[in-house]
Amino acid sequence: MTFKSVDPHDPSDIVGEFEAAGPEGVDRAVSRAREAFSEWRTQPASVRGGALAGIADDLAGSTEEVTRLVVREVGKPITEARAEVSRGISILRYYAQMVLAADGETFPAARSEDWLVVRRYPLGVCALLTPWNFPVAIPLWKAAPAIGYGNAVVLKPAPASTAVAEALGGILAKHLPEDAFQVVPGDAETGEPLVNHPDVAAVSFTGSAKVGHIVAQQAAGRGAKVQCEMGGQNPSLVLAGADLDAAAKTIAYAAMGYAGQKCTATSRVIVEKSVYEDLRDRLVSAVEGMVVMDPEDESCEVGPLIEDGARASALDTLKNGGGRTLTGGTPPDGADGFYLEPTLVEVEGPDNPLAKEEVFAPVTALLKAESAEEAVRLANDVRYGLVAAVFTNDLRKAMTFAGNIEAGLVRINAATSGVDYHVPFGGTKESGLGSKEQGLAARDFYTETRTILISP
């Protein structure tokens, strides 16, 4: 079966045509990866880290080319695309060094002449299932630690970002033994046999909650290690006393940047009653100031949605949800691509689907709360728990928020979007399953410990 990826700014531009790997392609890739693993795992950490450093240098040399491909294939505004490539380079350099850190611990043994050692070892073949919206950073924040710690990787990218995945694959392959890193293109017909393959030791997935739960069940059901990073319905709270101008600007970007297509985007703005109108006015003008245009333009902030279906489903949720549209709500005039004006909707209460479900579009719900306490209650009243932000000038309220909010990432006076690669990343509730990603959490996921007693 073949499929295409198209430029969401100009759907007549076909970026690539690909053959889905399917069950046979997966089987071939996994058995080759197993072969590669038996050799790669024996390489010293300096060699594995050296390979990552080489990949980083190579990617740095191709920054502009990869950036352009990201813009063209997934419609990411060029300044964000460039920043993402640069983040990918940093991730590679970070793990190039991290693999040289301690790989175990020693403990006192029952007999004093014995050594009791806990050492880390790679797992085997790791399957990485990645989304289209961060087509460089997410594959690399999974693949760099997987490879660095001695595993082999089979990457199944989202179909819409296959060309970027193949470009990355080409760069990685130059620095690694044959088949240690492979890309299998396709959708569920390829993803499912990969997740279920008995020779895949670990599965790392980023994508929707719906698919994530299936992946987790299938992988865990056959005893594989699994982690899933899924959706969000991320709140930004604005409390009385906050710097409203700064809050409005930061939230507008967190909500609408890259057309809201980040699992870390702000989907709900929950405002304390006494500053509600003041914040609403500022937010409407900040949202109206966001630059919607061709993502290749250096001033673009919003860009198109990934496909027409994504826009249609956002428009559907808007139509059925009710609420009062304060700005946006329609596609801009004269664009061929899958654009939607940044949309802010005042909703009556937390049951509006815009305040409950992940919309993955430049659409944000605005809610009023009676008090700071009610704002936190509303914020927690969803299935998700990825990121939450609070804007306040009250340190006590900020600290209470960090304690009471149900989220894996907490931001005080900062945007919900944006991620640091050297600290654990991931959510709680339906946003995350299994251990977190990035930083030291990645070492824990991509290795397992062996407890070794050495008696002379």
Catalytic residues: 229, 263
- CB 17 to ligand UN1: min, Å: 25
Contacts for 434-438 with beta carbons within 8 Å, 24 or more apart? 434/216, 434/225, 434/226, 434/227, 434/228, 435/227, 436/227, 436/408, 437/141, 437/142, 437/204, 437/227, 437/229, 438/141
Least Å from the CB of residue 56 to ligand UN1: 19
Nearest-angstrom CA–CA distance, 278 and 280: 6
- Nearer to ligand UN1 among residue 196 and residue 206 (C-beta): 206
Nearest by Cα to 99 from 135, 134, 147: 147
The helix/strand/coil state of 2 is strand
DSSP 3-state assignment of 156? Answer: strand
The residues binding ligand UN1 (CB under 6 A) are 131, 133-134, 138, 206, 229, 262-264, 417-419
Q: Which is nearer to ligand UN1, 193 or 432 (CB)?
A: 432
Burial 225-252 (b: 16+ CB within 10 A, else e): bbbbbbbbbbbbbbbbebebeebbbbbb
CB of 155 to ligand UN1, least distance (A): 15
Q: How far is the CB of 18 from ligand UN1 (least distance, A)?
A: 22
Residue 428: φ, ψ to 5° = -115, -175
CB closer to ligand UN1, 130 vs 352: 130
Count each helix (H run) and each strand (E run) in the chain, helices first.
14, 20
The C-alpha atoms of residue 171 and residue 223 are separated, in whole angstroms, by 32
Q: Give the list of residues 6+ apart from residue 31 with CB closer than 8 angstroms, or none.
A: 199
Shortest CB 429 distance to ligand UN1, Å: 16
Q: Residue 190 or 264: which CB sits closer to ligand UN1? A: 264
53 or 83: whose CB is closer to ligand UN1? 83
